[in-house]
Amino acid sequence: MTDTKKAGYKRLSSNELSMQPGPQQHCWRQSLPSQLGEGRSLIFQLDPSLSYIETTYQPLHDLAITSKIDFAEPRLVVTLGITGHTRFIDSEKHELTFSEGNTTITSFDSSNGERQYQANKPIKQLRFSIGKRWMDRYLGENESAFFFQKNALQLLSCRPSQNQSIIAARQLLGCDLSAPLAPLTLNGHVMTILASELSGLCQPAKYGYSRFDEASRHIADQAREILELHYQDPPSLENLAKTLGITPFKLKNLFQHYFNNTPYGVVTEIRMRHAYRTLASTRQPISLVAEMVGYRHASNFSLAFSKYFGVSPKQISKKR
């Protein structure tokens, strides 16, 4: 995970974004200051417990927008990545990535963290913020309770968007907002997307989802702790799964569910975090840093580092 201050992110509170009435009733436009680049969100209040947010950004600098919100009721957020990707890091250092072509489903009752955008990289995302009362109305209280098992930020799913959702998203983006029946049209496309993306979580056996409990979370945390301790020479997927008494397939599912990543991807995150800290705070040679974090060849380390952070190890080392 990148330290936003060291990485040179421009930091902005969500309260500093201008808010003006949008193109129709019950719609607001939230805009990024023009000196920071292009950026706006259209926020449609379709129901007291349902909002649709269409976000389009292309900042001139690496940008981190911070926010702290306490909701009146638990919220479920469905995010469709249309173009580009962003990251959200909460106050507990939990990280979520929202990527092009994927739908990410999260739940929480408060939001305290920052959303990160890369400089000159266009992003477009559709978000649907759903209150528990809406879920109770359409699913029933027993079924909707699954989505709100914890108060903290919870990743429920991250997987490729359904084809039906992609089609509805295109129609949603092409809506004539000045048309007399625009609210009805918007609501119809939104309902199509939500029905498509939530159906798998409501029918886990049919769609291959599993409902994760506290025991599953404990296993996932144990696995991550092992990788944190042995990131220089991590166990294979098979050996790690055997240590935890589960199958490699289940282990991969747990990592995808709780960390939005693969075990190998988590090892890379840990290595990169240690490498960045060492390069930024010491005068160690790059070849030695590569070896310290588990790379046998400095060239492989430099390639992985540059891909992960967007800058080379040499550029970080020169900052001292």
DSSP 234: P
User: Helix-strand-coil percent breakdown of the chain, rounded to 5?
Assistant: 45, 30, 25
CATH topology of domain 212-320: Arc Repressor Mutant, subunit A (1.10.10)
In the structure encoding, which two tokens stand for residue 49, read together?
């417990």
How big is the chain by its Cα radius of gyration, in Å? 21
Do domains 10-207 and 212-320 share one topology? The answer is: no
For the entire predicted model, the pTM comes to 0.63
Phi-psi region of 140 (alpha: psi -120 to 50; beta: other; left: phi over 0): left
For the chain, give the number of residues: 320
CB 47: neighbour CB atoms within 10 A?
A: 16
Q: Kindly list the domain boundaries of the chain, sorted by start residue.
A: 10-207, 212-320
- The dihedral through the CA atoms of 222, 208, 94, 63 has a sign that is positive
Fold classified for 10-207? Jelly Rolls (2.60.120)
At 27, phi and psi to the nearest 5? Answer: -135, 140
> Would you give per-residue pLDDT tens digits along the chain (320 residues)?
344 444 578 889 988 898 898 877 789 999 999 999 999 999 999 999 999 999 999 999 999 999 887 777 888 999 999 999 999 988 777 788 898 999 999 888 877 889 999 999 999 999 999 999 999 888 887 777 777 766 667 788 888 888 889 999 999 999 888 888 888 899 999 999 999 898 867 654 443 445 567 788 889 999 999 999 999 999 999 999 999 988 887 888 888 888 878 899 999 999 999 999 999 888 889 999 999 999 999 999 999 999 888 889 998 876 65
